[in-house]
Structure 1
């Protein structure tokens, strides 16, 4: 159902990229997991490698589910497109930008 504002809303977004400096927000969703029914948001450096991102950010978060096995993580997708998860490539090099949505399955 659409919402109609009673006035013009003309304020800059509080989570726009320029407020984060060398960091960015990245959303991560574990598809098909009932414990994590929606994406989690993480603030991470843009230059962080994908392998470090998974090991240092995704694994501790997802590890709270006993079914998580970091070695069995499959099918990474950026939004709805398949992502070639190169561990040494930076998030920026892989096209993972500010407020990007990553999906994975285990």
Structure 2
């Protein structure tokens, strides 16, 4: 839905990087309807990308019954909707992630609780 401003609509943006403790990163899990939207997390740009799967995602997705079944070596990553191959040893910044980027992952063979997404 578009918005038509009747008066000048000029003000500083509130969601700029400087207003958060770390750059925001949106992370979503494809094919899992238990989560209606990606999570938005402040993550330090020098954090290794591999720490997302090891230290971040268990805290937000770990209670899903499929999470323990993920084979991280086969996970498909997407950045802004496009296939993407991040280097787990490099930092978030070195992988090209910046404030308010969106990434998603798909775990082949896992399509929701008891295959509910398929």
The TM-score with structure 1 as length reference comes to 0.86
Select the structure of larger CA radius of gyration: 2
Distance 1:9 1:15 in 2: 16
Distance 1:83-1:70 versus aligned 2 partners, 3 A rule: farther
Distance 1:36 1:27 in 2: 13
User: Is there any run of 5+ residues in structure 2 with no aligned partner, and where?
Assistant: 108-118
User: Alignment length, in residue pairs?
Assistant: 105
Distance 2:95 2:65 in 1: 29
- Superposed CA RMSD: 1.7
User: Is there any run of 5+ residues in structure 1 with no aligned partner, and where?
Assistant: none
CA contact (8 A) 1:59 1:70 kept: no
Distance 1:70-1:51 versus aligned 2 partners, 3 A rule: farther
Relative to its length, the structure with more strand (as a share) is 1
Distance 1:8 1:65 in 2: 47
The TM-score with structure 2 as length reference comes to 0.78
